[in-house]
Structure 1
Amino acid sequence: MVLLGVFGAVGVYEGAVRMMEQWHLFFEPTVVGTVAGVIEAVIITFVFTYSVAWLYNVFAQR
């Protein structure tokens, strides 16, 4: 996401930057938008990983 933020700021990989803007609510090819997109991705990844670990622990106890 950081690379797409940098490349989007200089005008490279504009198609990938547009897709990233569609997929992530806060991502924009600016410094603030890149940081916000990274924070959003970290939160989504934490929730997903925590859910998978919780399910694993539930089924591992049986």
Structure 2
Amino acid sequence: MVQELRPLSLGYAAAIVSAIGMLILAIFGNLGIYTDAVEMMQQWHMFFSLTPAGIIAGMIEAAIISFVILYLFAVFYNRLA
């Protein structure tokens, strides 16, 4: 028997993990660690930068993108299962 995924729970969890990951990357970037990863993240995310406003905007952007992707994944998974 296949269990159903709860889309909202999965989406919220992904959003939280993404936002925390972005914050950790920004902290390391400001310390001069993982500068290549910070450069890649600045290329991939429209609003991310190492300024306080850029960090918050990048966290919000990452959270929204992750929420939407994993929410839709759970919805499609439940329909196919």
TM-score range, shorter chain: 0.7 to 0.9
Higher RCO (CA 8 Å, separation ≥ 6 residues): 2
Q: CA RMSD in A?
A: 1.3
Aligned length, in residue pairs:
60
Q: Give the 4+ runs in structure 1 shifted more than 3 A.
A: none
Over residues 3-58 of structure 1, what are the superposed CA-to-partner deviations in whole Å (9 max), with x where a residue is unaligned? 22123234333222111101111100111111111100110111111111111121
State the percentage of identical aligned residues.
Answer: 52
Indicate the structure (1 or 2) with the bigger Cα radius of gyration: 1
Q: Which moved more, 1:11-20 or 1:51-60?
A: 11-20
TM-score, structure 1 normalization = 0.81
TM-score, structure 2 normalization = 0.65
SS at match of 1:58: helix
